[in-house]
Structure 1
Amino acid sequence: MATTPTSMRQGSSGDAWEKGARAGYAVSGGLHIMLGYLIAQVALGGGGGEEASSSNALSQVGESTLGAVLLWIAVVAFAALGLWQLADAALSRHKASDRVKALAKAVVYLALSVTAASVAMGSSGGSDDQQAQGLVATALGWPGGQFIVGAVGVGIIGAGIFHVVKGAKKKFLEDLTGVPRGSGKTVRGLGMVGYIAKGIALGAVGALITYAAVTADPDKAEGLDGAVQSLLDLPGGQIIVVLVGIGFAAYGLYSFVRARYARM
């Protein structure tokens, strides 16, 4: 009998892998709560110039001895979750679109693992905005670079729209199983607010990268911090950014639920 992708992950080693992957969701939850706080601080003018980015949030975690230990736990947890998603993309029998989404998630979580390791070893690698601008500058130098960067920007906008739709239509509930009946309303609320907020932030990042492609100017590209600043410049921007910060924190709390009840 052929071995199915599911059975390949059974047994004690598979159980340990699944626990590590679930821990990745929990670590992601803590990271999003910190990001929500930093984003809200930017809106309220109390951030002290601190960047609202995953690398900065991880840096704050690592400022104590306990935090340094937690960072290495994050490295392992994100790597486990990234490899789990990679296995789903490579081995599962889901439809092609689901495999592509699993591959995209694998890239995100493995990148977070690398970032956490870099911070744990004392290397920030520059701000998210600087990293985004450096990558865009490199890509613009390639043949067809503007098209490539534009395609990436449009893809990120698409991911933002996907998150908003997933939140608005409550499709994130398909990722969960066994949630206690009495907690359903709270989980739905956290997921809706969290996914929509993440979608708005991703849309802003994608729009800035697309603009950088159209103008062939890498300085126009921004990471999360630049996207938050661009939202802050809109009419009613302060309220929008505070709501996005609250949304990121809600997504973090939802991620804790997902760590326990995710359909793996």
Structure 2
Amino acid sequence: MRWWPDRSEARAAHGTGVAAAARAGLAARGVLYLLIAALALRIALIDGSEQADRGGAVQELAERPFGRVLVWAVGIGLIGMALWRLSEAVFGGAGPDDSKARKRLLSAVRFVFYSAVAGSVIAFAAGERSSGAGSTDEQSRDATARVLDWPGGQALVAAAGAGVAAAGVWITVRAATRAYRRHLKPAQMSPATRRTVDVLGVGGGVSRGLVFAAAGGFAIRAAVTYDPDHAKGLDDTLRTFADTPAGPWLLAVVAVGLALFGLFSLAMVRWRNF
């Protein structure tokens, strides 16, 4: 009698675990983006004072009935997202090209990012109210100020800003070209479902990419001017859209786009191939 699974059984168990972690992570990401979008829309239409970023979303969630339980659930889901990306970095992803070194490196970067986000949300759920609900604007300015004081700090901040801006352009292009389709299960989707997912994926991805690109541009400006106050987190970046000639309506459009991305993340829980 065998007391251990054979290699195929181990692979199947690993795949099931990865899929469960990924679905939990996508659901948590979707909830956060829907909350951020609601806060941004409130700012655009009512001139609210809330933080339209991860911290504001976590605080908003905590104020709901069973809020602490919900925050814990989101934090655990984000841990699942981090573990999914770690698995892709180590073992490769499900896509035909996801085992290439470039894809694995990208997954490793995502693992670091989602680990940090999950850690801050879990810390908030555990009672450190200055963690998960901290302002991303303050965090961005503080981090920029520290790095600017390093030898070669201006170059480092400029490079980081350029990286974030490039990521925004990359996200936008991939959304516009519907690159996400190669990860879907088309045989299980009706034509109406595919059209709906395309609306969510394109609209949501383009809006998300625009926000990333703008945040990267502000970081570059902070490096050029040697002024960390020019660095902006998600909240200040979103508010900047309301200061354009288009006024708060541009922020409202971006907020709707972020809501679409939240719904797209939730749709991926069902329709993505892991």
TM-score normalised by length of structure 2: 0.88
The alpha-carbon distance between structure 1 residues 75 and 240, as it changes in their structure 2 partners (threshold 3 A), is: same
How far is 1:131 from its partner?
A: 0.5
Q: Which residue of 2 aligns with 1:117?
A: 122
- 1:214 and 2:224 aligned: yes
- 1:232 and 2:242 aligned: yes
Distance 2:10 2:167 in 1: 30
The alpha-carbon distance between structure 1 residues 188 and 147, as it changes in their structure 2 partners (threshold 3 A), is: same
How far is 1:91 from its partner?
A: 2.5
For residue 158 of structure 2, the aligned residue among 150, 163, 173 is: 150
Q: Which residue of 1 aligns with 2:190?
A: 181
Q: Which residue of 2 aligns with 1:89?
A: 89
TM-score normalised by length of structure 1: 0.91
Q: Which amino acid aligns with 2:251?
A: V
How far is 1:119 from its partner?
A: 1.9
The alpha-carbon distance between structure 1 residues 196 and 6, as it changes in their structure 2 partners (threshold 3 A), is: farther
Q: Which amino acid aligns with 1:131?
A: Q
1:135-189 Cα offsets, whole Å, 9 max, x none, are 1111111111111110000000001101110111111212222451230000001
- 1:103 and 2:108 aligned: yes
Q: Which amino acid aligns with 2:240?
A: S
The alpha-carbon distance between structure 1 residues 9 and 140, as it changes in their structure 2 partners (threshold 3 A), is: farther
- 1:254 and 2:230 aligned: no
Distance 2:10 2:265 in 1: 26
How far is 1:50 from its partner?
A: 0.6
How far is 1:14 from its partner?
A: 4.9
- 1:18 and 2:19 aligned: yes
1:89-110 Cα offsets, whole Å, 9 max, x none, are 1232622221222122212321
State how many pairs are aligned. Answer: 258
The alpha-carbon distance between structure 1 residues 240 and 6, as it changes in their structure 2 partners (threshold 3 A), is: farther
Distance 2:8 2:184 in 1: 17
Distance 2:196 2:233 in 1: 31
Contact kept, 8 Å, 2:148 with 2:157, in 1: the verdict is: yes
The alpha-carbon distance between structure 1 residues 149 and 8, as it changes in their structure 2 partners (threshold 3 A), is: farther
Q: Which residue of 2 aligns with 1:202?
A: 212
How far is 1:60 from its partner?
A: 1.2
RMSD: 2.0
How far is 1:217 from its partner?
A: 0.9
- 1:164 and 2:165 aligned: no
167-176 or 119-128: which moved more? 119-128
Distance 2:42 2:141 in 1: 24
Contact kept, 8 Å, 1:55 with 1:119, in 2: the verdict is: no
Q: Which amino acid aligns with 1:117?
A: I
1:220-255 Cα offsets, whole Å, 9 max, x none, are 111011111222111103221111100010001111
Contact kept, 8 Å, 2:35 with 2:60, in 1: the verdict is: no
The alpha-carbon distance between structure 1 residues 140 and 19, as it changes in their structure 2 partners (threshold 3 A), is: same
Segments of 5+ residues of structure 2 without an aligned counterpart are: 1-6, 93-97
**Larger CA Rg, structure 1 vs 2:** 2
Segments of 5+ residues of structure 1 without an aligned counterpart are: none
Distance 1:66 1:224 in 2: 26
Contact kept, 8 Å, 2:21 with 2:83, in 1: the verdict is: no
Q: Which amino acid aligns with 2:199?
A: G
Distance 1:143 1:24 in 2: 37
Identity, in percent, stands at 32
1:13-52 Cα offsets, whole Å, 9 max, x none, are 65244213211101111111111111111111342x1110
